[in-house]
Amino acid sequence: MTTVSAPPAAVESLAPRVRPRRSFGPGSIIKYALAIFFLIVVLMPLYVLIVTSFKAGSDIGVTSQWNLPTHWTTASWGKAWTALRPSFIRTFELAIPVAVISSLIGAANGFVLSRWRFPGADVVFTMILFGMFIPYQAVMIPLREIVTTIGIAPGIPTLVFVHCVYGIPICTLIFRNYYATTVPEELVEAARVDGAGLLRTFARIILPISIPGFVVTVIWQFTSAWNDYLFAIFLANTRNGPITIALNALAGAQSPDYAASMAGALITSLPTLIVYVLLGRWFIGGLMAGSVKS
């Protein structure tokens, strides 16, 4: 009876691998110390926001802002939510359509500019990108006159229109780079051979593989619309505007309620924080997808 011995390579592959032990030298200690230091610096304002939002009015101004509340209370959170709730809902009505509409328009523009080389395509792309470099302050008064002339309803509809227009350049740039670097030309040619036109190819083939690009543009546009204050203060008011105007009104001018203001700031930032926590890793992946030729 003969025995078959395993080859040395197989024996080595079955042997447990010993991970090399990490050595913490002076360089590693300095690196981690700096990381912890900058983390503390970044988290300090958040600590003040949270602590102050749970303080009673008698504690503010008497104790240091770094001290924990003497009496923990959620009254400021209730006051802030009552003041911000209508505008909180309106801001979702602004940010979600802006993110979806501008992303779809940017995807269509990016596909056409990356795959359809019509005369003057580079000039058109350059003119679209030029919109990214126009300061908001320079066009605020003419923009208000335009939306008044068009007859768009003031408030959220006006802001949806403005943010979609201003979001087209960055969405077009992201999708053009994504399609040019990740979508093979053979895929589009195969669809053309099968008789699919430009619109059918875009709807049936390109859109289903554009999820990484949509993640980037949706997060970008949602955050921009949610955090906007300049357009909102010019084109809306506290009765029909987004949450940033309501938060400014909550802060007050003569006798501000710091606890309610801090609670309102945390409530305002919560949706964008959730979006980044849930989609953050896809956001980075989508950015990288359009940066390297595959």
pLDDT at residue 7 greater than cutoff 80: no
CA triple 31-32-38, angle to 5 deg: 90
Question: How far apart (Å, rounded) are the C-alpha atoms in residues 16 and 39?
Answer: 37
pTM of the model: 0.81
Domains of the chain, start order:
28-73 (no CATH), 78-289 (1.10.3720.10)
Which of these ranges, 163-177, 183-197, 212-226, has the smallest mean pLDDT?
A: 183-197
Note whether 185 and 78 are within 8 A (CB): no
Query: Residue 204 — pLDDT band, cuts 50, 70, 90?
Result: confident
The pLDDT assigned to 209 comes to 86
Which amino acid makes up residue 17? Answer: R
Question: How far apart (Å, rounded) are the C-alpha atoms in residues 49 and 15?
Answer: 53
The pLDDT assigned to 15 comes to 52
Q: Considering only CA atoms, which of 20, 236, 51, 267 is closest in space to residue 147? A: 236
Is the model more confident about 287 or about 46? 46
Half-sphere exposure of 26 (CA within 13 A, CB side): 0
For the record, the structure tokens of 116 come out as 């359809």
The pLDDT assigned to 294 comes to 43
Tell me what the mean pLDDT of segment 128-135 comes to. 85
Tell me the chain's radius of gyration from C-alpha atoms.
27
First to last CA, the chain: 54
Tell me what the mean pLDDT of segment 152-162 comes to. 91
Is the model more confident about 23 or about 237? 237
pLDDT at residue 6 greater than cutoff 60: no
Mean pLDDT of the chain: 83
Note whether 167 and 132 are within 8 A (CB): no
The pLDDT assigned to 125 comes to 87
The pLDDT assigned to 19 comes to 60
Which of these ranges, 12-21, 70-79, 138-147, 232-241, has the smallest mean pLDDT?
A: 12-21
Q: Considering only CA atoms, which of 124, 117, 147, 123 is closest in space to residue 231? A: 147
Query: Residue 196 — pLDDT band, cuts 50, 70, 90?
Result: confident
Which amino acid makes up residue 151? Answer: G
The pLDDT assigned to 265 comes to 92
The pLDDT assigned to 286 comes to 64
pLDDT at residue 23 greater than cutoff 70: no
pLDDT at residue 36 greater than cutoff 90: yes
pLDDT at residue 1 greater than cutoff 60: no
Q: What is the pLDDT of residues 57-113, one digit of tens each?
A: 767 766 677 878 888 888 889 999 999 999 999 999 999 999 999 999 999 999 888
Question: How far apart (Å, rounded) are the C-alpha atoms in residues 212 and 8?
Answer: 44
pLDDT above 90 as % of the chain: 34
